[in-house]
Amino acid sequence: MNIIESINGKTKVFGIIGNPIEHSFSPVLQTTLFKENNIDAVYVPFRVENEELENAVLSSLSLNIQGLNVTVPHKISVMKYIKEIDETAKKIGAVNTLKKIEDGFKGFNTDILGLEKTLLLNQIEITEKTVVILGAGGAANSAAVLAAEKKAKEIYIVNRTIDNAKRIKKLIKNDFKGDIHTLDFENIMDIKNPQIVFQTTSVGMGENNKESPVKNIDFFKNTEAAIDIIYTPWETQFLKDARKMNCMAVNGFDMLIYQGIASFEIWNDLTINNEKALEFKNSFEDYYKGKNNA
Ligand code: ATR
């Protein structure tokens, strides 16, 4: 008989709550990061129904769980049940990371940190640039807050439902001095100099995987970088078109890894340097592509 020592009374417990949770990459990601950094911890996926969310958060505290990731559909509703919320997360209006503090959890949003690191490590500069955000859902919030924080020159929010684009404009307009324009996809060619383009809609995924929200590829004539939040398929039609027009094309996998690294850093009060983060990302990318034939 083999005696297994990898989990003992001192092992710290972390996890992820969401629904569904079965396809989450986070357990592999975080377990690897704990191991690589010699931290005695486990990371477990928990499927939590909406009506069980409050119970789940309170019980996690009782069980001395040190930190949780929060994913769909709980990123907004979980804020009701936590003790403190970090300022940027408050601005975005969603949290995806909980860290145990004195008598409750503190919430953070590492989606925006992941996006920031994605830009940094791909050497994409958005300060003083014309930034275009396609879509106006949860991920668009992070892109908009980041563009405002980084002092883009102007921001265009393009969305099918214009009211949702206006909601994002409202979210950032007090913190952003440049112009913020809202428009629908029919008028997208009116944007003459879309230097940095974030694609945050679900178009290009699943049944729509031959589609791009940008129908005319001349749109990318003056574009420097196109960033898609999607990573299945590995290269969306949007990214294929951007690449054809000689733009840098970055898919959502970088963001997935870097948001996880940012959560890991918050939980463990440490910083993973850029070189190491890139090395981790490349290893995860090789693994993921191998498993998914991407
Ligand atoms: P997430 O949290 O991942 O950003 P979301 O909040 O559901 O996801 O947002 C999805 C975005 O994709 C929305 O901006 C949505 O547009 P609407 O605000 O008009 O609903 C956009 N979207 C989804 N399907 C689309 C389609 N077929 N064409 C254009 N936009 C679409």
Give the model confidence (pLDDT) of 55-110 as tens digits: 999 999 999 999 999 999 999 999 999 999 999 999 999 999 999 999 999 999 99
CB of 274 closer than 6 angstroms to any ligand 1 atom: no
> What's the CA-to-centroid distance between 23 and ligand 1, angstroms?
21
Q: Which residues have C-beta within 8 Å of that of residue 279, sequence separation ≥ 6?
A: none
- pLDDT, one tens digit per residue, over 174-221 is 999 999 999 999 999 999 999 999 999 999 999 988 999 999 999 999
Decide if 75 is catalytic: yes
Q: What average pLDDT does range 38-66 have in this prediction?
A: 98
| C-alpha–C-alpha distance, residues 155 and 51, integer Å | 38
Q: Are strands 12-18 and 104-108 parallel, antiparallel or unpaired?
A: unpaired
Work out the number of other CB atoms within 10 angstroms of the CB of residue 251: 24
8 Å CB contact between 284 and 259: no
pLDDT at 92: 95
pLDDT at 208: 85
Q: What average pLDDT does range 116-126 have in this prediction?
A: 97
Residue 293 has pLDDT above 90, yes or no: no
151: left (phi over 0), alpha (psi -120 to 50) or beta: left
pLDDT at 165: 98
pLDDT at 201: 97
Among 71, 160, 183, residue to substitute to test ligand 1 (most atoms within 8 Å of Cβ): 160
Q: What average pLDDT does range 148-154 have in this prediction?
A: 98
Work out the number of other CB atoms within 10 angstroms of the CB of residue 254: 23
> What's the CA-to-centroid distance between 232 and ligand 1, angstroms?
16
Q: What average pLDDT does range 23-46 have in this prediction?
A: 98
| C-alpha–C-alpha distance, residues 108 and 86, integer Å | 5
Backbone φ and ψ for 194, nearest 5 degrees, come out as -75, 80
- pLDDT, one tens digit per residue, over 268-277 is 999 999 999 9
> What's the CA-to-centroid distance between 72 and ligand 1, angstroms?
14
8 Å CB contact between 86 and 108: yes
CB of 165 closer than 6 angstroms to any ligand 1 atom: no
In the chain, what is the straight-line distance between the N-terminal and C-terminal CA atoms, in Å? Answer: 40
- pLDDT, one tens digit per residue, over 217-266 is 999 999 999 999 999 999 999 999 999 999 999 999 999 999 999 999 99
